[in-house]
Structures are given as C-alpha cells and as structure tokens.
Amino acid sequence: MRIGELAERAGTTTRTLRYYEARGLLTAARDAQGHRVFTEDDLRVLRQIRTLREHGFDLEETRPFVECLRAGHPAGDACPDSLEVYRRKLAELDACIADLRSVRDEVGARLARAEAEAGAGRGAEPRCALTWPAAVPPHATEEETPA
C-alpha cells in the first residue's frame, strides 16, 4: 500500500509517517517509480506506536516494541527490552500517582482548615456598633449611612 492509504488506515498523516521513517521507526520499500510501499506489518507497527503514545510513552520509548515486531514476534511487548520499558513506565506512573496523592492530601487539609476557619466566624456579632449591617438599616440611602 502507498503512504496515503497507510496513513488513512492508521489514523495518522503522511507527514507523521515520514517523520517516523526519518527516526527509523518505519521502513518503506520503494516501487519502480520510487514511491514508498508499505505492508500490513507496517500497519501493525503504526498501531503499536499509536497505542503506546496514547498511553503516555514518548516516541523513543516505542522503539523496543517496534524492533520486537520487526523481529517477527506476534506482539511488540514479547521481547525483554519492551518489558523493561513497561517496568520503567510503570515506576514513572507510580511516582506521579504518589506525587498527586501528596498534593491532594495537602489541598484537602487546606480546604478543611479554611472551612473550619470560615465556620468559626459564622454567626459572630460585629465587634463595633458602627459596622454594617448593625448600624445601618437595610433600607437606608447613602446620605443616611454614618461616616
């Protein structure tokens, strides 16, 4: 298949495919006219890259999965290098989750303190007799308001 068809079937653009080719993640054969020709295996590679990218893997992290598929394995994660990338990504995600939990705990504690402080001030009488609303009737005009 030609580059346009591959891009359409993979849900990407020809520009992206050329970029992947330049990065060595995609390899194109050439026909007699010099046009790029791709196979179903190339589509599998692109689907693997896309899935990993959707899950937060950077482009370079997809390389072991691509190489695993190119080596003839039925899945891109069937090779030791791919498994190592999974392990690193999982550790990275665990660290992010721990950071988010810490931030959430801090925000929750600040909210609880703020609510407690706001609740403590509710219903308290004004300390000064001239403080609104005690000193000024609600129907008073600006001229009637004490200075």
Any domain includes 133:
no
Any domain includes 131:
no
Q: What is the pLDDT of residues 68-121, one digit of tens each?
A: 999 999 999 999 999 999 999 999 999 999 999 999 999 999 999 999 988 776
Any domain includes 16:
yes
Map tokens 């009637």 to a residue.
Answer: 144
CATH classification of the domain holding 87 = 1.10.1660.10
What is this structure's pTM?
Answer: 0.69
Q: Note the maximum CA span of the chain.
A: 95
Beta-carbon count within 10 A of 27 CB: 15
Any domain includes 143:
no
Any domain includes 102:
yes
Q: What is the pLDDT of residues 2-22, one digit of tens each?
A: 999 999 999 999 999 999 999
- Both tokens of 4, joined, read 């346009």
Range of the domain at 57: 3-120
Any domain includes 89:
yes
Compute the Cα dihedral for 72, 11, 13, 35 and give only its sign: positive
14-22 vs 3-10: helix axis angle to the nearest 10? Answer: 100
Any domain includes 24:
yes
